[in-house]
Structure 1
Amino acid sequence: MGVLSEKMAKDKGIPRSVQDAFAASSYQKALKAQYEGLFDEEIAPLTVKWEDPKTGETKDITVSKDDGVRPGITAESLGQIKPAFAKDGSIHAGNASQISDGAAAVLLMKRSTAEKLGQTILGKYVAASIAGVAPLLMGIGPWAAIPKVFEKTGINKDDVDIFEINEAFASQCVWCANELGLDQKKINPKGGAIAFGHPLGCTGARQVSTLLYELRRTNQKVGVTSMCVGTGMGMAAVWVAE
């Protein structure tokens, strides 16, 4: 995927400086949100046993924050990192999603069932779309999927309060947002996968959780989640907060 994203960045003319600026913003937004406790409500702390690799000492630690979020990240500091996939490339460890472990869960049910069980309703799933794109340009999946879900639901980009678009690579996220004419302030307001990781199989549920809690916190209503998918696909979904 890294090699394909490098090819896409070159084909679409996305300079490294733009990618690094986007990535730095993701880190900075995530750090600010973490410092302000904006993730606390959506994270269930987990206590695990940890063995110090140096001393062999075992102790209990409670994991309550994503540890990929780092302070002091700027576009300038990212500019010093060596390219990962091509000698003269633009993609590197700092402007691509982190390889991370993680877990997320979303409970989806009928409203009547939630009310019967006494479950708090965070929001409503409206519709989703899946789109195919050229396999060698798999990163542009959101660009194809988001308009399809707009057509299906009868809304447009101006109706959406928050977009959670997975930051597999800064290059593809920047290109998709620019091509769709999305307001950058609406995209990943608490940072994204570049800052706190992209555990495969988990990210979609994580996006939904982050989106619905942020919509509720900011008293906004409509959100969209979207991501690219390997082999040339994209998916997008519309959600409405209670």
Structure 2
Amino acid sequence: MSSTETPYETGGGVGLSSRDARVIGGASVLMAINVVVMYALAVTPLAAVNDYLFSVPIIGAVVYGAAIMAGQLVAERGVQGGDTGIAFVGMVILQLAFGIFGAGVLAFAPRAAQLTILVVTAVVVAVLTAAIAAYVYARSTTFEHWGSYANYAFIGGLVAILIGTFVPLALVVGFVLIFLGFLLRLGWEIWKVRDQRTASVALQTIGVYIAVAGVFVHVLQLVLRYFASRQ
């Protein structure tokens, strides 16, 4: 989750090129598959993985963080090396990492309500993504610093979760910081789509998908809490 790229150009305007549409469309397809994976896994023993990992919160955060980073590195290596098999393995790791986590969250809700919760979450995430994209495309400035801010938020979130392992109240801070990190990363990834037109469409698609998936699993937790409070 680094921010080392140098922008090739910095443009403005809210119009999407066909290239932008391919990246966003590809990321949307990957996210849609992930939602199906979450729904399917929510009734399997894998939905209990969160219970074991987050019995010590920092372990759960580190394991999922490592899985996401590993999946991204493997997928990107496959794309860059032209090896479809390796790229597929990386995507499977990412789908399972987000899918198992999401399934663990979803399993707290009755099966009859799970589909509704996923739909509401998808709508909220779509609105957030559209708002961030509109902001990025409307401003003629660089958003490269958002990548650095995202990294700081992730690190701060892990530290807060570590503290929260002993002081539960700090877990809320950790949640907020990790969520903020994914929102900032989403803006950074969208900026790269906007300005780095010579970059690989496949790599940018993976980047946007990971950011959206990270936002999705956090919104999912908030939506679940909302539905639970209405019972």
TM more than 0.5: no
**Who wins on radius of gyration, i.e. which is larger?**
1
Please state which band the TM-score falls in when normalised by the shorter chain. Answer: under 0.3
Q: TM-score, normalization: structure 2? A: 0.26
Higher helix fraction: Structure 1 or Structure 2?
A: 2
User: More strand by proportion, 1 or 2?
Assistant: 1
